[in-house]
Amino acid sequence: MKAEVRDVIPLKPKQRSITTLKGVGPKLAERLRRLGLYTAEDVLLHLPLRYQDRSRITPIGKLQPGEEAQIEATVVNSQISGRSRRFLLCHLSDGTGDLTLRFFHFSPAQQQWLSQTGARLRCFGEVRSSYAGGLEMIHPECRRIELDTPPVDGQLTPIYPATAGLQQFTLRNLAEQVLEQAEALLPELLPPMLLAQLNLSPIAETVRLLHQPPADTPLAELESGCHPARRRLAFEEMLAHQLSLRRLREQTRRQAAPPLASGSLSQRFLERLPFTLTAAQQRVLKEINADLMQPRPMLRLLQGDVGSGKTVVAAAAALRAVATGAQAALMAPTELLAEQHHRNFRDWLGELGLDVAWLTGRLTGKARQLLLGRLAAGEIQIAIGTHALFQETVEFAELALVIVDEQHRFGVHQRLALREKGRNEGRCPHQLIMTATPIPRTLAMSAYADLDTSVIDELPPGRRLVKTVVVPDHRRNEIIERIRQACRKGRQAYWVCPLIEESEALQCQAATVTAEQLTGLLPELRIGLVHGRLSANAKEAVMAAFKAGELELLVATTVIEVGVDVPNASLMIIENPERLGLAQLHQLRGRVGRGSIDSSCVLLYRPPLSQVAHSRLAVLRECHDGFEIARRDLELRGPGEVLGTRQTGEQSLRVADLLRDQDLLNVVRHTADLLLRDHPDCVEPLIHRWIGAGTRYGEV
């Protein structure tokens, strides 16, 4: 995907294609492309993952198992051992201790020189404890020391991220070539004043140090990413991302948007609700309304934990568009969720005489034509759907507000494509992005730098914590008994079978099998099944039956993750929870505990669980605050997972790590302000260097 995007982007005149490097033909170029390397600059920014230290000789007596080391020693004796599988053992000594080299593959020539008692060898490899209790190296790199053998390396040896068919020496070779021209390939883009102020070294010097660090460079600092050289590049990269989103924001904000001033319809709607808004909902709605009154497009991210009541806020905002005679569109990530929003909106707004349409991908033929016609004529005020809403064939009479629910399921690209779609003759709709995956502040400031943020940090009154337990699979029968008890008391339960296989078909199959088994074990219960392969009608029918209490147990895939609101459901079982993200589990769990009854969630895992998996599930047991959960998830799994970008392959940072480098963010933001204001010429080249050739979401 990444490759395709990038292929069509012409190189800038000053950029040099990677094929201009010596030794790079079409085949190698293809392999390099797989690493995201297209230009000579890319090679410079492809930094080593780690380093090997061949600059020192370690006395054998000082070796530690597990470390990589270089030794020099004399051959004491050698022998071939093993019956079915022959191997060569070569015993060495350097006066401080003994070490054995073990080779499973060896040529007769190698055997010959490794067997010469008294020969001196220099070896580099990983030290291990052998079965016999001594120290050994398996297949070390070895050379014989002759009179003309050069002294040890003056530099650390870089080990690069590689891919199949690409050798380290090829990458080293390419790095050497481009380093010769580092100054020309990576000109300084930051103003000299700024470099001095922030105490940043020149970029060419920085990359040279990272590719070929002098032997005395602290290895640990280099490898952990704390070395100033690495931080300097991380800073520039984060700056480029920040600039790209900020520039995008400015481009959007320069366009005109219809001011949505009238709040009377919205007020009438709120007065009719069976509850009053929480203080947090009111505050957030005020922030949104203030934006909507402006003649510039709103760009706002609305964050709020599961069940915090984002939908009502969205509906109130939509009514401001409707009140001025314009339209609003609400996009949800799944059909099921779109359907639920549609039902809610219809119930809420039908009384006000409004027409709410549900546009699904499954709607075809005449019915679809009719609906599209009414949408284009402005006869429908609010349209709800999945991304099908924004296909080319869909036209709005006057779209004034776009609401995107559960944004984390959409990539940044999709968000920006949507923005593009709504753009019309220099006019742009207001945008409200909602997410229940609370994004830690630091992350939000970088990944959503183009948006203002509002947070609903309070749940409606009367909500109870969902008691969460972590239970191994062999106690399944107990759990089944618990379901029986709960349902006997008139409660309802969910049984969730998450993704076991990648394919949706297999996932549905797993859910089907589980439903059959549970039907056998709980014959007195009425059990329903919902998964992604059912038709929309069938799904809706099952959900409606569950909601109406006609079904007691609902077996489901993760399609129920977002959406469904059944206050009487008090028990949720999640199988294989270790395969899901914490935020996703928290979402799922949010399906219970919606009423005033005590609820619980059982995480039914299949042992053995890794240590990390254990601590992850423990987080869920202890913690009920979505923000805190997201923060811990971030620590345990990294930003790619939390933002959902790992799947879409987007916004992959080359050097920076949003977690490790988050302390840079404030400076990054200030610097972005400064550059946009005082040095606008720097902006484009910076974006181009770091993102330009990658996923160019700055210019969707």
Residues found near ligand ADP in the complex (CB under 6 A): 275, 277-278, 281, 304, 306-312, 436, 460, 565
For the CA atoms of 378, 384, 386, 391, what is the dihedral angle to 10 degrees? 0
Nearest residue to ligand ADP by CB is 309
Q: Work out how close the CB of 663 gets to ligand ADP at its nearest, in angstroms, rounded to a whole number.
A: 31
Minimum CB separation of residue 268 from ligand ADP in Å reads 17
Closest among 569, 599, 595, 638 to 225, alpha carbons compared: 638
Closer to ligand ADP by CB, 308 or 507: give it.
308
Query: Least CB distance from residue 239 to ligand ADP, whole Å?
Result: 34
Q: How far is residue 666's CA from residue 688's CA, in Å, rounded to a whole number?
A: 22
Smallest distance, ligand ADP to C-beta of residue 176, A = 55
Nearer to ligand ADP, 117 or 276 (CB): 276
DSSP assigned state of 493:
E
For the bound state, the minimum distance from the C-beta of residue 319 to ligand ADP, rounded and expressed in Å, comes to 15
Smallest distance, ligand ADP to C-beta of residue 578, A: 24
Compute the distance between CA of residue 691 and CA of residue 642 in angstroms, rounded to an integer: 21
> Please, what is the end-to-end C-alpha distance for the chain in angstroms?
15
Question: What minimum distance in Å lies between the beta carbon of 407 and ligand ADP?
Answer: 12
C-beta of residue 511 within 8 angstroms of C-beta of residue 555: yes
When the beta carbons of 160 and 627 are compared against ligand ADP, the nearer one is: 627
Residue 212 or 281: the one with the smaller Cβ distance to ligand ADP is 281
Taking the least distance from each CB to ligand ADP, the nearer of 238 and 313 is: 313
- The stretches of 623-700 forming alpha helices (DSSP H) are 626-637, 639-642, 645-648, 665-678, 680-687
Q: How far is the CB of 343 from ligand ADP (least distance, A)?
A: 11
Taking the complex as a whole, how short is the minimal distance between the CB of residue 458 and ligand ADP, in angstroms? 9
- Of the candidates 68, 61, 125, the one whose C-alpha atom is nearest the C-alpha of residue 93 is 61
Q: Assign 286 to helix, strand or coil.
A: helix
Q: How far, CA to CA in Å, does 358 sit from each of 75, 346, 369, 558, 574?
A: 80, 10, 13, 22, 30
Compute the least distance from the CB of residue 332 to ligand ADP, in Å.
10
Nearer to ligand ADP by Cβ, of 436 and 668: the residue is 436
Task: Name which of 337 and 619 has its Cβ closer to ligand ADP.
Answer: 337
Rounded Cα distance between 417 and 273, Å, is: 34
Nearest to 14 by CA among 176, 173, 175, 183: 183
Q: How many CB atoms lie within 10 A of CB 304?
A: 25
Complex with ligand ADP: residue 217 or 407, whichever CB lies closer: 407
Q: Pick between residue 311 and residue 431 the one whose CB is nearest to ligand ADP.
A: 311
CA distance 622 to 245: 36
The DSSP-derived string for 367-415 is: HHHHHHHHHHTT--SEEEESGGGGSTT---S-EEEEEESSGGGS-HHHH
Q: What angle do CA 677, 683, 684 make, to 5 degrees?
A: 145
Beta bridge pairs of residue 401: 328, 430
**For residue 158, what are its two tokens?**
């870089």
Taking alpha carbons only, the member of 321, 333, 286 closest to residue 433 is 333
Which CB atom, from 21 or from 312, has the smaller least distance to ligand ADP? 312
Q: How far is the CB of 460 from ligand ADP (least distance, A)?
A: 3
Closest CB to ligand ADP among residues 518, 572: 572
Instruction: Answer yes or no: are the C-beta atoms of 355 and 380 closer than 8 Å.
Output: yes
Helices 310-323 & 264-272 angle (0-180, nearest 10): 140
